[in-house]
């Protein structure tokens, strides 16, 4: 009886993610809580412009999709909700620029802005449920985990903290302080939030307590989000180094440095099977063997790559600061399709079945697919 009680307690307090692969939904900007950048969606056979929608200023954020609704923030300070035909459903004024991707869970939109405000907004009505205030700007997406049936949000801020709040009420559960700005999104793996920051460390924080488990030095600041798989974190940094960090080993297991160019990695990697893919400001897209860091291929994209790639089966979707959207084969980098928007894209595309949705510097939301 005693053993059964212990097992029940462990079951009740187990931490889990609410994100699952779904070809019609893309509720988090990297697809799942580990930030893998992978979708089960089928890609269109051609890339045609299906529609565009104009916001009031440029878009640096990434769109998310849930229940046939597209949500994206703009630097005009508004969160926009569109239907799948590009018609406006509602917009909400947060009163400051939005560069962070939103997250949608259970019909609620969670979105931060440069004023440091995190909002919970009803997806169907656009009405605010609560507002939480950090002490400096929020640049990265929220992520979510569940303990004993209760949902919690984690989000980083330029106030040096990772904040954990109750998803239902916005009430603070804990704060974990780093040594500098927290720019990206924290990946959730098992019982831990794993993220880099401008202090040059990968932080591994217990999501139940907010206490540090490990802090691993990568030597320089990380401007984006790490991807996590089997106690390995994969991240690019501002000095042009791409690393695999062993969480259990507490060290960098392998790293790649471009000998002739130290351009920064701004976007986040995507990871599928043994492939890990990331773009760089030197205009190249890189594909590595995740196990040993062997460079499998690199390919020029014709423009700087600040956007994060998405992997769909054996294909990669990537956007560039030149304004091109490309689909490549994952095994060799061969280009299969391309579409020229003509405006820089820094955010991650939302990829759902037969559609690619993204925002651009011209302030427009674009939907590409087969006409």
352 forms beta bridges with 355
Q: What is the pLDDT of residues 2-55, one digit of tens each?
A: 444 444 444 344 444 455 558 999 999 999 999 999 999 999 999 999 999 999
Q: Could you give the strand order of the β-sheet that contains 355-359, starting from the edge strand earlier in sequence?
A: 48-54, 364-369, 355-359, 350-352
Q: What is the pLDDT of residues 253-304, one digit of tens each?
A: 999 999 888 999 999 999 999 999 999 999 999 999 999 999 999 999 999 9
- For the record, the structure tokens of 104 come out as 């949608």
The per-residue pLDDT of the chain, averaged, comes to 94
DSSP state of 189: E
Q: DSSP for 52-86?
A: EEE-SS---S--EEETTEEEEE-TTSEEEEEETTS
- Record the pTM: 0.94
Residue 19: the pLDDT is 55
- Give the Cα separation of 57 and 49 in Å (integer): 21
Residue 169: the pLDDT is 98
- Give the Cα separation of 370 and 349 in Å (integer): 16
Region of 296 (left: φ > 0; alpha: ψ -120 to 50; beta: rest) is: alpha
∠ at Cα 49 (271, 141), nearest 5°? 40
Residue 260: the pLDDT is 85
Which of 221, 207, 145 lies closest to 176, judged by CA? 207
DSSP state of 8: H
Q: What is the pLDDT of residues 301-352, one digit of tens each?
A: 999 999 999 999 999 999 999 999 999 999 999 999 999 999 999 999 999 9
- Give the Cα separation of 276 and 290 in Å (integer): 6
257 forms beta bridges with 241
Distances (CA, A) of 175 to 47, 146, 186, 213, 226: 44, 17, 13, 14, 20
Q: For 230-323, where are the E strands, in sequence order?
A: 232-236, 241-246, 251-257, 270-272, 275-279, 284-289, 295-300, 310-312, 315-319
44, 355 contact by CB (below 8 A): yes
Domains of the chain: 23-369 (2.130.10.10)
Q: Return the CA Rg of the chain.
A: 19
Q: What is the pLDDT of residues 86-121, one digit of tens each?
A: 999 999 999 999 999 999 999 999 999 999 999 999
29, 62 contact by CB (below 8 A): yes
Distances (CA, A) of 107 to 15, 81, 121, 165, 306: 21, 12, 9, 18, 29
Q: pLDDT grade, residue 167 (50/70/90)? A: very high
Distances (CA, A) of 82 to 43, 61, 322, 351: 21, 15, 26, 15
- Give the Cα separation of 216 and 205 in Å (integer): 12
The answer to which of 4-8, 119-123, 166-170, 176-180 has the lowest mean pLDDT is 4-8
- For the record, the structure tokens of 158 come out as 């330029």
DSSP three-state, residue 216: strand
User: Could you tell me what percent of the chain has a pLDDT over 90?
Assistant: 91
> What values do phi and psi take at 216, rounded to 5?
-115, 125
């Amino acid at each position: 009886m005693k053993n059964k009680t212990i097992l029940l307690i462990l079951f009740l307090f187990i931490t889990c993610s609410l994100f699952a692969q779904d070809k019609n939904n893309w509720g988090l900007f990297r697809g799942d809580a580990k930030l893998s950048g992978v979708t089960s969606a089928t890609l269109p056979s051609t890339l045609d412009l299906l529609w565009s929608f104009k916001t009031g200023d440029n878009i640096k954020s990434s769109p998310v999709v849930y229940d046939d609704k597209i949500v994206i923030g703009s630097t005009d300070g508004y969160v926009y909700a569109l239907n799948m035909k590009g018609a406006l459903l509602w917009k909400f004024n947060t009163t400051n620029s939005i560069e962070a991707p939103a997250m949608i869970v259970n019909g609620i939109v969670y979105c931060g802005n440069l004023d440091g405000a995190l909002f919970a907004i009803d997806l169907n009505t656009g009405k605010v449920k609560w507002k939480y205030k950090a002490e400096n700007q929020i640049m990265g997406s929220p992520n979510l985990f569940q303990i004993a049936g209760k949902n919690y949000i984690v989000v980083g801020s330029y106030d040096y903290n990772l904040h954990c709040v109750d998803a239902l009420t916005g009430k603070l559960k804990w704060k974990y302080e780093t040594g500098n700005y927290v720019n990206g999104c924290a990946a959730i793996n098992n019982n831990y939030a794993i993220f880099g920051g401008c202090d040059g460390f990968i932080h591994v924080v217990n999501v139940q307590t907010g206490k540090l488990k490990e802090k691993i030095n990568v030597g320089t600041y990380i401007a984006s989000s790490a991807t996590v798989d089997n106690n390995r974190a994969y991240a690019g940094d501002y000095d042009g180094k791409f690393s695999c960090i062993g969480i259990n080993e507490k060290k960098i297991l392998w790293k790649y440095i471009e000998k002739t160019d130290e351009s920064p990695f701004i976007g986040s990697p995507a990871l599928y099977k043994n492939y890990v893919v990331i773009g760089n400001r030197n205009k190249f897209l890189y594909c590595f063997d995740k196990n040993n860091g062997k460079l499998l291929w690199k390919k020029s994209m014709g423009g700087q790559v600040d956007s994060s790639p998405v992997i769909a089966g054996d294909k990669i979707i990537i956007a560039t600061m030149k304004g091109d959207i490309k689909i490549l084969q994952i095994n060799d980098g061969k280009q299969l399709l391309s579409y020229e928007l003509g405006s820089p894209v820094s955010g991650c595309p939302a990829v759902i079945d037969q559609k690619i949705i993204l925002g651009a510097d011209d302030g427009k939301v674009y939907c590409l697919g087969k006409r």
